[in-house]
Chain A
Amino acid sequence: MSQTSPSVDREELRALVADALELPVEEVADDASFPDDLEVDSLTALEVAVRIEKRYGVKFAEDELKRLTSVDAAHALVDARVAAQV
């Protein structure tokens, strides 16, 4: 688990997101907006968040769930949470 490191592997996170979205990993750019660029619906976005929570052993607050709209955003949120746990 990555909890031992304050830095979350971006490529691993991207692969997790791509898997949850059922998209090729190369289509999931750092700044691609889930709803606007990848046409991810709100329920699927929730699925992404829950998978990230489980993988990294974190729990997002509700306002954080709403901000989880790209790999960049997800990385920033998870990285901060994991770092806070160390």
Chain B
Amino acid sequence: MATSVRPVAIVSGGSRGIGRAVVHRLARDGLDVAFCYRADRDAAARVVKEADEFGGRTLARQVDVADAAQVRDFVTAAEDALGPVRAVVTSAGITRDKPLAVMDDADWHAVLDTNLTGVYHLCRAAILSLIRQRGGCVVTMASIAGVHGSATQSNYSASKAGILGFTKALAKEYGRYGVRANAVAPGLIDTDMTGAMSDKARQQILSRVPLARFGTAAEVAALVSFLISDDARYLTGQVVGLDGGLVV
């Protein structure tokens, strides 16, 4: 197994949006980063190139996080190439918004499989490594939708609410090993996911945000960076909101 003086992080959903910003930020922080992405090979290659400029090593793999075997292979490849994983960031997520009354079963399962089961798969594949090191952390990307619910997003809200319970359970199970687990609950963040909203919808929601703007992926990544850092060494089992005051 390769060894590294730099801590190693694995990130799901690293080719776009918040995951991409997390890869950049952690590379800038001095970590070696392995990330997986679902489809966009060119975007992933750009992320690798950008992250490499910070002097560390970056590895990208195309993975469907809903597939346990693919995720296990990804984690094994990451550890073989970079060394034992110290931080796990789950950022892969999709939406299939519809009112429940007309939601297709496929839309329900696709969102739960990627957003929630994908988190299980990644953490399941990496947790023994953290236990053996007696330290490390997990940061899961939840959402205010998981805390408060969101209309036309019963599938997404359920998946994100599931992440909260999962994360708190991890915090309780593995605190004895010095492993921390926290969830981030972003509000409205400027990504391609929210970019699909109409201008009218954006303005309506913005009117409810005290800070009167969308957040940025870089701001979420900065919070992830803090949660991974030693400065957060007594912080575990928490859901940290980042929403410009939307739910105050």
Contact = CB atoms under 8 A, between A and B. Distances in A.
A50 B135 CA distance: 13
Interface of A is mostly: helix
B131 A50 contact: yes
Contacts of A54: 132
A62 B95 CA distance: 34
Contacts of B131: 46, 50
A9 interface: no
Nearest to A46: B131
Contacts of A50: 131-132, 134, 177
A43 interface: yes
Interface in A38-60: 43, 46-47, 50, 53-54, 59
B132 A53 contact: yes
Contacts of A62: 128
B132 A43 contact: no
B173 interface: yes
Contacts of A46: 131
Interface residues of B, number: 7
Contacts of A43: 173, 176
Nearest to B131: A50
A46 B132 CA distance: 10
Interface string A23-37: 000000000000000
Interface string A60-76: 00100000000000000
Contacts of B134: 50
B176 A47 contact: yes
A46 B176 CA distance: 11
A53 B177 CA distance: 14
A36 to B, nearest CB: 22
Contacts of B128: 62
B220 to A, nearest CB: 32
Nearest to A43: B173
Nearest to B124: A62
Interface string B128-167: 1001101000000000000000000000000000000000
A53 B131 CA distance: 11
A48 B132 CA distance: 12
A59 B132 CA distance: 9
A51 B132 CA distance: 9
Interface string B166-187: 0000000100110000000000
Given A50-B134, A53-B132, 10 more contacts: A43-B173, A43-B176, A46-B131, A47-B176, A50-B131, A50-B132, A50-B177, A54-B132, A59-B132, A62-B128
Interface of B: 128, 131-132, 134, 173, 176-177
12 contacts: A43-B173, A43-B176, A46-B131, A47-B176, A50-B131, A50-B132, A50-B134, A50-B177, A53-B132, A54-B132, A59-B132, A62-B128
- Give me the 3 closest cross-chain CB pairs, A-B, nearest first: A50-B131, A50-B132, A43-B173
